[in-house]
Structures are given as C-alpha cells and as structure tokens.
Amino acid sequence: MGLIYEPRSFWSILSVTPPAQGGDPAGLVATFDREHFRNGTRHPIVLKRFALAAIGYALRGNDNAAAPNALNYRNSAAIINECFLHISVPGRQEYSRERLRLSTWTPLPTGEPPGPPGTAFSGPWGVCVMDFDHPLVLPQNGNLELDFTGVIVPGAVFNPGDQIQPALSIAVKEQGGLFAGDSRIVVRQLIQATRGQTPFDPEGAVPPFDAFGVDPNPPSFANGIQGIWAPQTRFSARAFNQQNPNRGGAASLLGVRAHIDQIDWDTTFVANLGGANLLAPLSMKMGTRIRTVDSGTKMWWWRPGAPMCLVFDKMTPAQVYELPLPITLGPGDTIELELQIPDGALVGSPPAFVRPVTNIGVSFNGFAAIEG
Amino acid sequence: MDSLHDTIVRQLLEQNPEAQHEVDYLVRLAQKNYCDGIIEEPRLYYDSLPINQAGLETRGDPDVFINGEAFPVRLTHLVMAARVLDQNGAVIDERFVQRVGLRLTFHDQNYMNRLFTPLPLWADVPIAAGDLVGRSVAAWRFGRPPILSARDTLQVTVALERVPAGNATRDVTVSFTGIGLLSKRPYFFSATVTLANAVATVLDTARFRPDGTEPVALTDMTVHCSALSTANDPNGDVREVRVQVRQVGNGTNATWFQGPITINPLPQAPAQLVGLRSGRSIVHKFPGDGLIWEPGEGITMAMQQLDPAITSGNIDVCIGLAGYLSVT
C-alpha cells in the first residue's frame, strides 16, 4: 500500500470597502474567512507555496496622466503593492510579528516576458501553468474533469457588438511515449462573457458571474445566469478519456496549462478606453475547479471557483512565494490570514477623500498525501 | 592517491552540497569530460515557418530537424517565437503566436498531441528577465558546458534582420561567461559590433580567445541588440538580430546552430531562440532527460493557423530544438 498524491489548494478572496474619512481605522484590517483554509478532509495536506493577487480587476495599472477620481484612483490589480498580510496558525504559531507588505514576500520568477514597449496589453502569451509537486497517478479507467468559468465584460468600456470574444485552450501533461510525455488538450473554446455594469469591476454592482468581489461562494444564479460553469470551457472526463494514449495501463499526470487568447479583448479595450491604463490578464478573473473521476479521492482539488492565477502557480501573473519549509495541515487544521488595506488620499479638484476598494486573493498550494 | 578524474567522479557521486550548486556542478562535469576525452557542444536546430493563412499545415525544411552529424545529440528544450518581420516585411505583433498550433512527429508518434497545440501551452519554463532588459536580451545557460581550450576561439557571426532606416545603426553584443578549469576564476568574453546594414559580420575573434593559461568551461551565452541609434526609447529588440557560433580549434568545429540551407537558407539563427534561460521566447522543456537523436534521426515539425478569422496576418514563427552533442 503506497501513497497517492493529489494537488490541493486553499484559497479565499477578501473584498474590503474601507471606512469613510474619519471612520474607524480598525476597518483597514480584515481577516480572511478561516474556514476557507481549513483542512476538512481525512488526509494531511502539505502546502509548499502561496500565491497572492488582486482579483477581478479589469486593469493592472492606472493612467497616471488622467485626473484622479473615485473610479480610477488605484482601482487596479497593482493595489497589491499597497497591502499587508499576516499569517498564523491559530493557537500555535505566528509567522511574523508584523503584517508584511505583500510584495515583500519574495516573489518567484513566474511572469511572462514583456510585450512590445509602450503597449498596454495584458501580456504576450496569456498562459498559466501548474506543475504537480508529485505525479498524479491515474489507473487505467481514471480521468480528470476540469471546469473554467466565464468572465464579466466591463459594460461601460465595451460596446454591444464589439468583437472581444476570448478563447481558452487547456493541456494536461502526462508521462509516456517516445518523447517521454504528451498532453491531452482542448483547443480554443470560446469563453462565456457577460456584460457588467461598471468600467472596472469589482467596483460597484456587477453580476456575480465570476463571483469575485460580490459573492465569494460560487455558483450564483442571480441575474438569470444559469450557473458559472459554462459547458464550452469544460474539459469533461469523457473528452479526457478519449485522448488517453495508453489504453493498457495507468497514466502519470504532471501538470495542467491553460491559455487565454484575449488579443481582441485587449485591442478593443485599449481603443475604447484610451489613456495609458494597463490591462489585466483574464486569468485574474476566471475561476476553476478540477477533480479526479473514477479514481483517486474524487474531491475537488480546491473549493470550486479559485481564480486560475492563484492555483496555476508555476507561470502566472500572481505573486508566488515558496515556503522555506512546507506547512502540513492535519485534518481540522486551519490557517489565519489578516489583511491590511491601504488608507485613502485626497485626490481630484476640488479634493475629495478617496479610499480604493480592495479585492485580494490568497491561495496556499501543495498536495494531499493519501494512503491508498 | 586519487587522480583528478577519480576525485571529480567521487565528488559528483557524493553529491555534496557544494557540488549541487549549478555552476559548480557544470564545471565539475566539464572537468570530468575533459579528463575522459568527451566533447560536448551546444546544438540548436532552427527553422522559420511561414504560417499558411488558409489553415493548411505548414511544414519546415526537411533537412533541418535532423541529426546530420556522426554523434548522438540529446535534445532538452524546444523554443519558439515570432520573427520580427512577417511574410510581407511588416513588423509582427508577437502576441499572434497565441493563434498558431504546433505538432512534433518522431517515429510516427505525435507530441504533445495529434491535434495542433497552441504555442503558449508549450511554455513551461519561466524566462522573463527584468522588464528593463527583457526585450533586448536572449541568454542561454548551457546544459553541458563546452570547453574553450587554451588556444581556441569562437567565431561569432551576427546579422540584422532588416536594414536600419535612414542613417541609424544598431549595436549587437554577444557575450560568453565561463570558469577556468584549474583556477576556478570566472571569464567573460564579449564583443560588440555596430551594424548599419543586414550583411553578416563576424565579431572580433580575439575577444573570444582565452588568455592561454587554462581551458575554460563556457557556462552561458548572451545576445543583446540595442535600439536604433536614432530612437528616443533605448529599449532594444533582440528579434532584430540573427546569430551563429562556431568553435575554432578543438571541439567539432561545426556550427552550433544548424538551420535551413536549401529551400530558404537562413545561415544564422534568429537570436530570440537563444533565450532558453531568459529572453522573450516560449521555452518548453522536454520531459525527463530529453530526447536522444542518433545520427540520421529527425523530427517533423508542423504548424497550423488556429484562428478561423485569420486576423493574425502573415505571421512567421521561428522554432528551435536545443540540446547538446556528445562526442565520445
């Protein structure tokens, strides 16, 4: 009897609306839902890295030349530079005495290279990569099932009829064959896009389609949307099995990659919005869920809906920190995370006190060791 | 008393913490090869594929991706990027590599899938350098360091992809980093040339000659292409240059980068393909220890336009298989 390993992540998103000027400064500190990080399974889970990203933003940087106002003042994914985090295991251990600035958790090199100079596009490749810490061994009839959500289209930026349709491709890498590997793939499936109400979600009221900033517990059926897991962006167990190159035995899976073609989205966004705003990759808005089927634990590897950039942590726009030594969460254990958001500032003319809404996601990534 | 060879082998086997350091490991490996009379040289097999806009497969030159030498080659990485100019001579938006699919075939086995896999899904090696230099530099840390013997040098040829407009020029720099096998001191070899046209130019070979005291294990190679001399923005673009390297003296004396020589000759490799460690190309590491090419073996490359709307123009994609040749 040996161990089998399955990837696992614990994730949460904290959406904080800061207090108004003169409000309680304690409102600048908030705690992530502790239950989102609780190991509710029977297996020990080893966490090796954590990922940090501002989730749900349409922009990753704002136009400095534009006059600051409540809408554009630091309302982008770059707000992560202004936040602080404290990690502890309740009743046992604190990992620091102070809250640390997020960007000072030493980032691993996980990014894409820069695009051409002067461009505001989200990136040259639009790819996210997850490598498993241990090969995931599936028996002959075992399969994977992968789901991805759609995205919210910022309604005030895009016009009806704009050609912006992003497309998703997925590859699951496995061992075997002359090349010592191959991949099972889904190519260029259109991502379901739903119009939102404001230019830069998660500000204001947006349909809880990708759930970030409004409802951290997808799926939601508000606004007539029939669930968040669109069929066209599903890599079903049936399709996965059809591409099995090894009918005679077990498969050893090594990782998952996802590519989002948002070239048209970026091009139209830049043309319609103007200015020097920098666009965010859609992987910072799209949710995922993955599990084994007909083998393994059949449990979702993380609470469904995790932003792709947080759990696909080898190549990602998120900031990834590798723990010097892994944290092992036994059954029932949890982690406590405390987030400090930035204070506001007087901006505009006449000056108005503005505090940016902050939407930060955190995930702890590793694997479960399961006695088979 | 142990010989130098025995000492090195023992240290390798003991896996002591010092030997696990990457560069130190490479140097010890080079020393071992030196003692055993094994020559290992980098190899990059490259081609430039004009993607067919009608959705038909585009196949490369059949002479390129084949081991035409008498020694085995181990391929470790696949690297690809958009050329700087498309089939009509216009500058390519490099994001359009997202809409091209690739399939490799080796002894009738397809990789990664029998379907064409979009190029970004091949990326599994993070290679982004700092934002300030990431566009202008391509660097390769050799998996197996070649030995530059005491009286050897390197013949490095560079050429621009297009003639700079007006009176502008571009500076092209190629550098190698190495470590002395006896002294363990670092060596830096580098030469720069100012180019005003697209004629292939050999860099000063004296710049790549060691001082003659000891053999040098070359660990890294870097190519840099500056901005146009008339441009305000000093951001360079490594896609503007092609490069070729050959060791003169010991080694095989063959060119390290081997590309098409018959249908559409491309005597120097697009420099972005050198960016296996840092640069702006999609880099894929083959599983495990890579793929062995015995003499005469080859791979068939095929690409296809995946965008039914064909908005990506007449894109050219350069692609390379990188590894090393072993002469035993």
Cβ–Cβ pairs < 8 A, chains A and B: 137
Q: Which of A185, A264, A314 to mutate to test the interface with B (most CBs of B within 10 A)?
A: A185
Q: Please write the tens of the pLDDT for every residue from A49-91.
A: 999 998 888 888 888 888 887 777 888 888 899 899 999 887 7
Looking at residue A216, what is its pLDDT?
36
In chain A, the residue whose alpha carbon lies closest to the alpha carbon of B95 is A124
Question: What average pLDDT does chain A have?
Answer: 84
CA distance B112 to chain A (A): 4
- B-proximal residues of A, 155-174, CB under 8 Å: 169-171, 173
Task: Give residue for tokens 């016009």.
Answer: A159
CB A190 within 8 A of CB A165: yes
What is the residue extent of each domain of chain A?
Answer: 3-371
Cβ contacts (< 8 Å) between A181 and chain B: which residues?
A: 111-112, 286-288
Least reliable range by pLDDT among B4-18, B48-62, B251-265: B4-18
Model confidence at B56, in pLDDT bands (50, 70, 90)? confident
Model confidence at A215, in pLDDT bands (50, 70, 90)? very low
Express as a percent the part of chain B with pLDDT over 70.
91
Closest by Cβ to B113, choosing from A109, A131, A182: A182
B120/A117 Cβ within 8 A: no
Average pLDDT over residues B219-226: 96
User: DSSP code of A244?
Assistant: -
Specify which residues A188 forms β-bridges with: none
Question: What average pLDDT does chain B have?
Answer: 89
CA distance B217 to B32: 11
A243/B113 Cβ within 8 A: yes
Specify which residues A315 forms β-bridges with: A129
Residue of B205, B212, B319 lying closest to B272 (CA atoms): B319
Q: Please write the tens of the pLDDT for every residue from B238-254.
A: 999 999 999 999 899 99
The helix/strand count (H/E) of chain A reads as 3, 23
CA distance A152 to chain B (A): 22
A263/B98 Cβ within 8 A: yes
Closest by Cβ to B128, choosing from A112, A175, A255: A112
Q: Which of B121, B133, B281, B300 to mutate to test the interface with A (most CBs of A within 10 A)?
A: B121
* Partner B contacted by A127 (CB < 8 A): yes
Looking at residue A141, what is its pLDDT?
87
Model confidence at B3, in pLDDT bands (50, 70, 90)? low
In chain A, the residue whose alpha carbon lies closest to the alpha carbon of B76 is A179
Residue of B229, B102, B211 lying closest to B152 (CA atoms): B211
* Partner B contacted by A110 (CB < 8 A): yes
Query: Burial level of A264, CB count in 10 A (0-12/13-18/19+)?
Result: middle
A178/B95 Cβ within 8 A: no
Looking at residue B14, what is its pLDDT?
55
CB A70 within 8 A of CB A344: no
Show the tokens assigned to A64.
């400095």
Model confidence at A213, in pLDDT bands (50, 70, 90)? very low
Closest by Cβ to B121, choosing from A113, A116, A171: A171
CA B247 → CA B2, B157, B256, B259, B323, distances in Å? 32, 12, 8, 17, 16
CA distance A75 to A357: 7
* Partner B contacted by A93 (CB < 8 A): no
A116/B93 Cβ within 8 A: yes
Q: Please write the tens of the pLDDT for every residue from A328-369.
A: 999 999 999 999 988 888 888 888 888 777 888 999 999 999
Show the tokens assigned to A289.
């869920």
**Cα dihedral across residues B11, B15, B21, B26: positive or negative:** positive
- B-proximal residues of A, 315-344, CB under 8 Å: 315
Q: Please write the tens of the pLDDT for every residue from B77-117.
A: 999 999 999 888 888 888 999 999 999 999 989 999 999 99
CA distance A257 to chain B (A): 6
A243/B123 Cβ within 8 A: no
Query: Does the pLDDT value for residue B9 go beyond 70?
Result: no
Query: Does the pLDDT value for residue A250 go beyond 70?
Result: yes
Cβ contacts (< 8 Å) between B95 and chain A: which residues?
A: 115, 121, 124-125, 263
**Cα dihedral across residues B247, B251, B257, B258: positive or negative:** positive
Q: Write phi, then psi, for A285 (nearest 5 degrees).
A: -125, -20
Query: Burial level of A147, CB count in 10 A (0-12/13-18/19+)?
Result: buried
